[in-house]
Amino acid sequence: MKIEQYIVDAFAERIFEGNPAAICVLERWLPDELMQKIASENNLSETAYLVPAEDTYGLRWFTPNGEIDLCGHATMAAAYVVASYLDAGKTDIAFSTRSGRLTAISKGGIFYIELPAFCLTPVPAPASIVKAIGVEPVETFMGRDMLCVLPTAEDVKAVLPDLNEIASYDGLLFHITARGEDCDCVSRTFAPKCGVPEDAVCGSGHCHIVPYWSGKLRKAELTARQASPRGGTLHCRYANDKVILGGRCVLFSEAVIRL
């Protein structure tokens, strides 16, 4: 068996920026165990699998440690692969996923993906939060993930996380965010439960971050910056409980997996 695989940097202007995702193109779903083994072998934050159908594409996302229900950057990377290789020139793309039907639009070299927003519930910060990130949050929320709002952008950039402590917290991922200096907001994402110490640019994380800052700043359109070592910029809009994320994609590699 041969599987076409593309590695795409999403939310990137050039290679080695943004967040890399492996996109595997299948004729039909493989056994879950095999898809997980491929994801673990790739050892990227996300390996996504595409199965073409009549008017949509089946899409599933796997971290090195397991399948998840939503991934923004791999969805954007999958849209790039469809528009560039599977159905060249296609500008409106639909995916059938565990989070329902997701759509992507390509316009002027930018891909826009529409994702469901997570409802945020205020919660107390964990008792060990200062040990985990070195600073007391201003506010803490729970959606699918935990979101901590820090006093300043510099606080976000300076965090040296205790990943063992973060892994003990509720939620799948752990996000920190603050008001930006030259953008609306900055953030970082840590995902030790998924085998990803720090995610380079997290689309699903912004399904928590964008609703928060949209309400706080009273604006629907935001420019967000992920302050990871690789870094990435997201053009965001929040409307009708949906988060629309825009960014560019760059192809890093094409390969054939032989099984």
Q: Over the chain (259 residues), what is each successive 10-residue block's mean pLDDT?
A: 97 93 98 98 97 94 96 96 93 95 94 95 98 98 98 98 98 98 97 96 97 97 96 94 96 97
Q: Give the Cα separation of 39 and 62 in Å (integer).
A: 6
Lookup: tokens for 87: 């159905």
- Which residues are tagged catalytic? 46
The pLDDT value recorded for residue 84 is 95
Lookup: tokens for 196: 């990803």
The pLDDT value recorded for residue 174 is 98
C-alpha pair distances (Å), 117 with each of 36, 151, 238, 240, 242: 27, 24, 8, 9, 5
The pLDDT value recorded for residue 121 is 98
The pLDDT value recorded for residue 150 is 98
The pLDDT value recorded for residue 89 is 84
Instruction: Indicate the SS3 state at residue 46.
Output: coil
The alpha-helical segments, DSSP class H, found in the chain are 32-42, 72-81, 129-133, 153-158, 163-167, 206-217
Q: What are phi and psi of 95, to 5 degrees?
A: -125, 140
